[in-house]
Amino acid sequence: MHTGTRRALLLHLAVLAGLFALQFVLPDYHHRNLARILVLASYAAGYNLLLGYTGLLSLGHAMLFAAGLYGAGLAVQLLGVNAASGFAIGVLSGLALAVAVGLVALRTSGVAFMIVTLMFSQAAFLTTLYFAAFTRGDEGFVLPEASRQYQIGSFFFDLSDPGTRYNFALLLFAACLMATFVLVRSPIGRVLVAIRENEQRTTMLGYHTFRYKLLALAASGAISGAAGAAYALLFSYVGSTFASIQYSILPLLWVLLGGVGTTLGPLIGTVLMFYLVDVISGYTSAYLLLVGVALVLLVLVFPKGILGTVRAKAAPWLP
C-alpha cells in the first residue's frame, strides 16, 4: 500500500519533470499547443475530481471555467487589477459559483443533477451574452498587453512570452495534479470514493454525504476557475464560447478518454483529444461531430478509458 503511494508519487513527479523538459525540444507550434493543453488538462483534473472520485456527472462545468475566465478577464480589463489579483479573483469566482450552484444542485442526483447543472450553465452562458456591453459577447475581448506584464520584486514576468507562458501553465497543472493526488489519497478522498461507490452506505458510516459532495464540488469549481483564469491571462482572450455547452462536454470527454478516476488520465485524454481535433479540423470543419462520436464510442466500448484500463490490467497502485 505504502510502496504503491511512493511509486505513484515518483510517477507523478517524473511526468511533471518530463513536461518541464519538453519545452526545450518542442517546435514552436507544439510548444504553444502544449501550454494550452496544460491549462485545459488542469480544467479536466478539476472535472475529474467530481466525476471520477465523487461520482457526480456535471454537464455544467463550462460555467465554472467561464467564471474563472471572466472573473480574471473582467477584473483586469475593467478594474485594471494586475495579473496575480486577476487570477485570485478568477479562482474565487469559480469557487463561489460552485458552492452557490451546489447548494441547489446537490439536492438532486443522477440525471436530475446533470440537468440542473446544465441549466445553470446555460443561464451563465446567456448572462455572458446579455451583458455584451462588458463582455462583448460572442466576439469577446483581448486583454491589454500591459496587464499581462507583472513585477514581483526584481523578477519581471511577461505572460505573452512563450517560455513564461509555458512554465506558468505547467505550474498550474502541477499544482492541480498534486492537489488532486494528495486529496484522493487522504481520508477525505476515501470518503468521496465511498460516496461514488455507495452513498447510502457511506451515510450509515456516520458521514454527512452532502457536505462531502459540496466540498468536492467547491474544490472542482476552484480548480476549474483557476484553469479559466489562467486561460484568460496566458492566452489573453476572453469570449463566451468558453461558457457554451461545448466546454462542459469537452472535459467529460477528456476525462473519459484518459481514464475516469485516475489522476493522470485527464492529461492523457486532453493531449489525445486536442491533437485528434487538431488533425481532423485540417480536413473538415465538422470536428464537433467527431467529438460526439468519440464520446459515444468511449461510453459504449471503453468505459474505463486509457489509464483506467491500465490500472485494471497491470497497475492497481495507480491513484
| Binding-site ranges for another protein (CB under 8 A) | 1, 187, 190-191, 193-194, 197-198, 200-209
305: amino acid identity, one letter: G
Query: Given the complex with another protein, which of 70 and 181 has the nearer CB atom?
Result: 181
Following DSSP, what letter does each residue of 176-233 receive, concatenated?
Answer: HHHHHHHHHHSHHHHHHHHHHH-HHHHHTTT--HHHHHHHHHHHHHHHHHHHHHHHHH
Q: Shortest gap between Cβ of 209 and another protein (angstroms)?
A: 7
- Residue placing its CB nearer to another protein in the complex, 51 or 67: 51
Classified as helix, coil or strand, 286 is coil
Query: Which is closer to another protein, CB of 206 or CB of 282?
Result: 206
Where does the chain show beta strands of DSSP type E?
Answer: 141-142, 149-152, 155-158, 237-238
User: How many residues comprise the chain?
Assistant: 319
State the nearest-atom distance from the C-beta of 265 to another protein, in Å: 17
Strand partners, 238: 141
Q: Which grid coordinates are listed for 28?
A: 514552436
Minimum CB distance to another protein smaller for 168 or for 212: 212
Q: How far apart are CA 165 and CA 55, in angstroms?
A: 33
As a whole number of angstroms, the distance between CA 30 and CA 156 comes to: 25
Is residue 221 within 8 Å of residue 123, measured between CB atoms? no
Compute the distance between CA of residue 82 and CA of residue 319 in angstroms, rounded to an integer: 37
Shortest Cβ distance from residue 301 to another protein (Å)?
Answer: 21
Q: Which are the contacts of 121, defined by CB distance < 8 A and separation ≥ 6?
A: 59, 60, 61, 62, 63, 243, 245, 248
Minimum Å gap between C-beta 210 and another protein is 9
**Closer of 103 and 297 to another protein (Cβ):** 103
CB 208 to another protein: min, Å: 5
Distance CA 65, CA 228 (A): 5
> What is the chain's Cα-based Rg?
19
CB of 94 or CB of 189, closer to another protein? 189
Taking the complex as a whole, the smallest distance from the CB of residue 200 to another protein amounts, in Å, to: 8
State the first-to-last Cα distance of the chain, in angstroms, to the nearest integer: 11
Q: Which is nearer to another protein, 153 or 206 (CB)?
A: 206
Cβ at position 270, least distance to another protein in Å = 25
